[in-house]
Structures are given as structure tokens and as C-alpha cells.
Structure 1
Amino acid sequence: MSPKNQVTSLKTFCLKTITNKLIYSLSDDEGTNYEVVANYISPTTFEVLQDLLKIILNSVNLDANIRFNCLQLLLREDVRKLDTGMFPQFYYQKILNVISSRGSGLQHLNLKGVWARDFPYLLSQLVRSLRGLKTLLIPHMADDAVIEAILTLEELVVLDISGEACFTVDGITKLKSQTLQVLDVGMFGKLSICHQENNGPDLIAELIEYLPNLISLRTYSYSGRALLKCYQKYPRSRTKLKYIHDTGTTEEIIGCVLNLCPDLENLHLDGAEHGVLEKLAKLQKLYTLKLTKCDVQEFLTFLSLSGARMQVLKLNHNKNISLDLSQICLFAPNLQTLECYQMKLTFTNLDTYFMSLVNVEITYCDMSDDIIRSIMTNSPFLRRIVIGSIIRMTDGDIFRICAECDFYNLEELWFSCAKSLTVTSVELLMGHCKNLKSIGQLNGWDVNVDEIDYLRAVIAFTNTDLKLLYVENV
């Protein structure tokens, strides 16, 4: 049987209670309770204030005015982390002013829900006022003045200025930092990073040079070309990069990557040319690999050399040649996560096992139900399985799979399109998998709303920790 709900922790209960009281007290437009509430929370630690802000600001169904009132009240000079959440346009300027006046102690600021791009001067002044920031997330918002403000942040570690750029070539080339380790810049699939130039790799190469402690260059899809520029300029230099994403990788580019990035742990290659994948075996620290439009045979050759190091594999867009998952079993015994999207899959050797696999996600792939059955029965430590392809299994198939395996570790099971499975399979999985906490998407099964409502009532009555995900068609 699925696990029982645990007793709510005292911390969670108190936070929920105080949150409800705050929302009720600050829900009037006149602000009659503002001073009383302010005095009540004045001795509160910043950790509690952060937790309250996180709950309230992420409550999307809560009126924006109440959320803003809570932000005004709870944001204090010693609060270290703030994620603003989504707000209507009317509140953008007000929120920036509140953070500027009350958020001097912030170390983490995420403005993704506030379109600060409409107020570049305020955003620049805000950044300058937060001297202790270590994480700043402002995609689509940074212009040259904001870049200059960012230069004043002496402890910045993570910066997100990705998306449609407002900065110029001169502006972005001023970005220099000894502390910055993670940078999001540019847009997926685009070579340029700002409107005025057509040679994004040159600019990225300069950023790599100016950011000596950079370990992750995210979002930008042509990092290999930038590293080639770096190699041509400084062939004996080394970077600290642990993650890059490259498109159309050539043998020349991968050679430069191997020389400049010996610490690479996570790599995403899109449309790599023939001969590239085999060379990845030289990356001794690589354990996460994402491949789009890869050569299947060359990929298996790489696995035969370096598969023991692989913990995460994500494979996309190749239905021309079948990929035998049992080969991955043999070559990658320590694999923990496997994701396949638009692939053609087989499983020929039923005597192979994924002895470390915990997470499987397969969507829009050409495969038979036998592959799903093989993955489930040959992965003894499986925790999560998501299948977004058409499944023709019946209740009898689920019964036989459960009879064969105990699924002690299984927590999430999502079959998006399984029209032959009924409420019988739901009840069987509920009763058989003792740690199962989520079953979905049941609107793709042969079940109706009344059956789901009944099962949810049983779950509530028996205090079972299980969610049945069902979205009614509108």
C-alpha cells in the first residue's frame, strides 16, 4: 500500500498558521492592521521571514495587492533570499523601490516575475544597492547600465542575463569578475548574444577570458566555437568549465574542448559531426551527457569506453537507427537517470539489468510495450518512470508486472497515454507499491472522474500519501 501521510511538522504548521493570519490581516486596502502586524513580527528571525515570503509570493491565486503588502512588511534588511514571483505591471516600479529600500542584506534575488526592463534606471540603482548579492536572476532585463552596476557586486557567484538582450557589445565586454562561477547568457539556438553583432562566439570567448573562475556557461548553444577562439588565442590556457552546450561540434572543436576543459562534468552536444563522440572518452570527469541527433553506433562505442563513469544520459531526436537499451545496461552500470525523446528504442537482451537506475523519462519514442516492461522489471531501484509515448498495456499486464517485481522504491509512475488501463490498475498499483506517491496522467487512461473522486476519497479517509493526477478536458 502507498505510504501514509506523516504528521505535519511543527514548523510547517506554524508557518501555515502565521501565513493565513498575515493574509487575513493585510487583506484590507486601508492598511488598518499594518502597524500592529509590523510590531508583532519585529522580533522574528530572518529565516522565518524568508519562509513566509516564499510561501506568500509563490501563491499565484492570492491577490497581488495582498502579496505586495506582505512583501513590504516582511522584507527586512537581514533577509537574504527573495524570489518575487509573478506580479501585474502596476506593481513593477513599487516592488523595485521596496527592494531598494529594504533589501540591503539580500544575497539571492530572482526578479523573473517582475518586468524590470521597463525601469532600467531603477534596476541599475537596485543592483548597486545590494552589495552582498551572490545570485542575481534578471533574464531579458539587463542593459549596459545594469552590466556596469553588476560590476560593483564583489561576491557575485550566479548571474542570469539570458534571453533577449538590451545590452550592447561594449556593455557585455565590460563584464569581468573574479568570483562569478555560473553565467546564463544568450538564447537557445541563437549564435549572437546581442542585436548589434553577428559573432557571438567572439564575445563569449572574451567572457570566458574575463571570468577566470567560470564553471558553468548555460543557455548559450555554441560554446564550442567560443572555446575554439580561446584556444587559437591562448593554446596553453585552461578553463574551470564543468558544463557547456555546443551545436554542430566538429573534430577540431572537440579537440579544443578536451584541451581547455579537462574538468568538464556535464556536456550537451547538438548535431555533433562524425568522430566527435568517441573522443569524449578522454574527459575523465564527464558523468552527464545530453546528445541531440547523435550517431547511435558512435554513441555506443563511446559508452563501451567510458560508460562506467556515466550517471545521467539524455538522448534526443534520432528515429533513423534503433538504440538497444540493453547495450546501455551493459556499458553504463552506474547510470542513474535515462531520458529519451523522439528516439527509436529496442531491448534485446532480457538478462541485462539497470542496477543503479532510479529515474526514467521516455517521450514520443518509437517502441513496444515490452521495452517498458523490461525497464520496470530490470531496474530494482527505480523511483520514477515517465512514459509519454502510446502504451497498449492492459490491466492484466500490470498485474503480471507487479507479480514479478515488488517495486519497493517506486515513488512516481506517469503513463500519459494508456487507454487500455482502467481503475483496476490504479488500485493494483496503490496496493502493491508501498512507496508510490504519484500516479498520472490518468486522463490518458480509461478512467472517469467519478472513479477518480472515489479513489481520492479513499486516499483521504485512509490518510494515504498519494496523488492521482487527472486533468478534466475543458
Structure 2
Amino acid sequence: MSPKNEVNPLSFLCLKFVSNVLIHSLCDDEGKNYKLVKNYLQDTTYEVIQDLLKVILSTENLDAATRFSCLEVLLREDVRRIDTGVFPGTYYEKILRVLTKSCGNLHHLNLKGVWVKEHTNLLCELLKKLKNLRVLIIPHIPDDNVLRTIVNCNKLSVVDISGECLFTEEGLRDLKSDSIKILHIGMYGKKEICQENDSSELIATVIKQLPNLNVFKVYSFTGAALLKIYENEPSFKTKLTYIHDTDTTLESLEAIIHLCPKLESANFNSPSSGVLNNFKNLHQLNCLKLSRPNYDDFNKYLIESGDRLQILKLNMIKDQRIDVSKICSYAPDLQTFECFKLKLSCTLPDTYFMNLQTIEILYCDITTCVLKYLLMNTPFLKRIVVGDVITITDGDVFRLCAECGFHNLEELWFSSARGLTIVSVELLMGHCQNLKVLGQLSGWNISADDMDYLRAIILSSNMDLILLPVGVFP
């Protein structure tokens, strides 16, 4: 049976209670209780203030005025983390001024949801004050002045300046840091960073000026930039452990192999024919996402180096069926397997995924035979998502439960399974001892009355199980 709901810890209950009291006290427009609340909380540790702000700022149904009042009153110099959440444009300047006035020891600042493009001077003032900042998340915001200010934040290790930003090539060339390890920049599928025709040389400069960079995220044409470096300095080495590249050529792969000896994770989109044959030279690569690869090249790579893989994500291999049982044979240590727009088959039903925990299948041609194979031959499965039409029935679920323990299964999502009824839900609820999420039940043959009945059972039995969607059924 699904696990029981545990009693929430006292710390959680106190946090919810105090945050509700604060919201009630600070929701008026006149600020009657502001001073009283500040005095009451003045001896509270920064961890408590931080947790209260996190709860209040992330409350979706709370109006912006109240959230801002709470931010204004609770914020103190010793708070180390702020995630502002989404605010209307009229609050952007106010929020920056409050942060500048009250924060001095922030380690983590996330302004996602507060798009302060028109107030970058205020943002620069704030950043100059934050001498201990480690994480800065400001997508779609920075201009050249912001980048130059970031350079002086000498403890920054994570920087998100992705999206359509206002900086120029000249500004980006000033981005130099020995501390930045993770950089999010650019947009998926877009070569230009600053409206130039070819940004590979610019990106090459950025990589060279960030000597301790481990992860270069979002930008999806990194191979061309690394090739520029390799052509000029073949002995140069990076510390990159993750890259994303599109239209990878044999030449750019050679550059990646030589310049990125620590590469552990990669996303390759539309690699040229023959490129995958040299992946065996990426000796530490264990997490791979492949889009539109050559089928024969992929098979060869799987045979030669599949035993290194722990995470495999496959997208759009046309006109060929991917044999999941062969992936099982050649990649025995696989922990995560994701498929998108593939045709799936199974020819070796006696093979087992002994380490696989997560399966995600979307927009694929999957038969009931393949689905049953994945469910029955993956003993440590924790999460399975199938976003396609499947013809599995209640009888199939009964036989699966009779043959398999599903001891580790926590999440099961079948988006379109009209052959499944309330009987299957009850079977899974009773059989899977760790099942906590079951969906997408709007795609099953289940009525609104069935859902009310099931939720009544869950509530009365104190089960820790969520049936999705939560909303009203037709």
C-alpha cells in the first residue's frame, strides 16, 4: 500500500503558523504593525528570517503588495539567500532599493521574475554592495555595466545571464573571473549572443577568460568556439564537465576531446556522420543527450562505450526502431533513460535493467510489449512517464502487480491509457508500497465520481499519495 503521511515536523508547522501571522499583520496599506514586527523579530536568527521570506515570497495566491511589505520589513543585513519570485513591473525599482538598503551579506540572489532591465544602474549599486555573493540569477537583464560589476564580485561561482540581454560584444569581452564555475548564457538554438553574425570567437574568448569554468549552459554551439581555441592553442585545456553543441563536426569533436578532458555530461544535437564513432575518446562521459544522431553511429557507440553511460536521452532518430533491450545489454549501469519521438522495440525480453530508476517516454511509438518489458525488467524503477497512447488494460496491471513487486516505484504517469479504470488505481495503491504520485488520470477511463471516491479513501487512510490532475474531471 502507498506510504502513510508522516506528521510534519514542529519546525515546519511553526514556520507556516508564523508566516501566516506575519502576512496577516503586514497586509494593511498603512503599515501599522511594521515597527512592532521588526522589533519582535530583531533577535531571530537569519536562518529563520530566510525561511520565512522563502515561504512568503513563493506563495502564489498572495498579492504583490503584501509580499513586498513582508520583504521590506523582514529583510536584514545578515540574510544570505533571496529568491524574489514574480512581481509586477511597478515593484521592480522598489525591490532593488530595499535589497540595496537592507542586504549586505547575500550569498544567493535570484531576480527571476523581477525583470529590472530599465533599472540596471540600481542593480549595479546592489551588486557592488554584495561582497560575499556566490550565486547570481538575472536572466534577460544584464547590460555592459552589469557585466563589468559582476567582474568585481570575486566570490561568484554561479552566474545566469541567459536569454535576450542588453550587453554588447565589448561588454562580454570584459567578463573575466577566476571564481565563476557555472555560466548560463545565450538562448537555445541561437548562434548569436550579441547580434553578431558569428559568436564562436566571442564565446571562445569567454571560455578562455573563465579558467575555472565547469559548466557552460544554455548556449548550444560550443563546439565551434572550442575549435577556434584549438586551432590557435592546441595545448589549451579547460575544466569543462558539461557542454551543449549543435551540428558537431569531426573537427570540432577533436577540439572537444583535446580541450575538455574532464567532460562528464554533453548534449549533442545533429552530430555529423562519423562523429559518434569518436565518442569513445571522451573517457569520462557518462551523461549523454543525443538529438538526430546517425543510427548506425549510435549503435556502434553503444556497443563500444555504452558501459560508461549512467544517463541517456535520445531524441528523434528517424526511420529506425530503437531496441530498448539492446540498450539494456550494452549500458548495464544506466540510471536514467529518456526518449522523445522514437520508435521503440524489444527483441531480448530476458535482459534486465539492474540500475535503471527513471524512464521518460514522450511522443514515441511504443507498444504494450515494450511497456511491459520496461515495467517488468526494471526492478529498481522509481519513476516512469509515458506521454503516448497506450493500450494497456486493467488485466495487464493485475498481471504486472502479480509478477512484480514495484517496491521502489514512487511516480507513475500514463498520459493516455483509456483501457485503465478505477480498478487499476486501486491495484497500484494497494500494491506499490512507495507510490506517491499517480497521473495523468484525466487520460484514463475514470469519472469525477471515481476520483472523489479515491480521494476519500486516500484521506481516510492518511495515504501520502497524490492523484493528478487535482482539478475537476469531466
Fold equivalence (TM over 0.5)? yes
In 1, Cα distance between equivalents of 2:109 and 2:57: 13
Q: Deviations over 1:413-443 (max 9, x none)?
A: 0000111111111111000101000000110
SS of alignment partner, residue 320 of structure 1: coil
What corresponds to 1:234 in structure 2?
233
1:269-348 to structure 2, matched below 5 A, reads 269-348=268-347
Match for residue 369 of structure 2?
Answer: 370
After TM superposition, give the deviation of residue 297 of structure 1 in Å: 2.4
8 Å CA contact 1:443, 1:472 repeated in 2: no
**Most deviating of 167-176 and 37-46:** 37-46
TM alignment of 1:56-455, pairs within 5 A: 56-195=56-195, 197-455=196-454
Aligned partners of 2:366 and 2:390 also within 8 Å: no
- Tell me, yes or no, if the aligned pair for 2:141 and 2:165 is still in contact at 8 Å: yes
| Structure 1 counterpart SS, 2:319 | strand
Give the secondary structure class of the aligned counterpart of 1:373.
helix
How far apart in 2 are the matches of 1:126 and 1:369? 57
How much has 1:63 moved relative to structure 2? Answer: 1.0
Q: Is the 8 A contact 1:300 1:327 kept in 2?
A: no
Distance in 1 separating the partners of 2:109 and 2:351: 47
Question: Per-residue deviation at 1:7?
Answer: 1.1
RMSD: 1.0
Tell me the amino acid that sits aligned with residue 350 of structure 1: P
Measure how far apart 1:11 and its partner are.
1.2
* TM-score, structure 1 normalization: 0.98
Cα distance, 1:10 vs. partner?
A: 1.2
Secondary structure of 2:320's aligned partner = strand
Which deviations, in whole Å up to 9, do the C-alpha atoms of 1:49-106 show, x marking residues without a partner? 1111111111111111111111112211111111000111111110011111111110
CA contact (8 A) 2:311 2:335 kept: yes
CA contact (8 A) 2:448 2:473 kept: no
The Cα of 1:153 is off from its aligned counterpart by 0.2
Q: After the TM superposition, which of the residue ranges 409-418 and 40-49 deviates more from structure 2?
A: 40-49
Quick one: distance in 1 between partners of 2:320 and 2:255? Answer: 29
* One-letter amino acid of the counterpart of residue 137, structure 2: L
- Give per-residue Cα distances to partners, 1:183-204, cap 9 Å, x unaligned: 1111100111012x11111110
Aligned-residue sequence identity (percent) comes to 51
Distance, in Å, in 2 between the alignment partners of 1:454 and 1:29 is 44
> Which position in structure 1 is the counterpart of 2:45?
45
CA distance in 2 between counterparts of 1:404 and 1:429 reads: 13
Output the TM-score relative to the length of structure 2.
0.98
Q: 1 CA distance for matches of 2:295 and 2:318?
A: 10
Partner Cα distance (1:45, 1:346) in 2: 57
| 1:5 aligned residue | 5
Q: Name the SS of the counterpart of 2:342 in structure 1.
A: strand
Q: Secondary structure at the match of 1:119?
A: helix
Q: Runs (4+) of structure 1 moved beyond 3 Å?
A: 471-474
What SS does the corresponding residue of 1:155 show, helix, strand or coil?
coil
CA distance in 1, matches of 2:19, 2:206: 44
Work out the number of aligned pairs and report it: 473
- Name stretches of at least 5 consecutive residues in structure 2 with no aligned partner: none
Q: How much does 1:473 deviate?
A: 6.6
* Structure 1 residues not aligned, in runs of 5+: none
Distance 2:387 2:210 in 1: 40
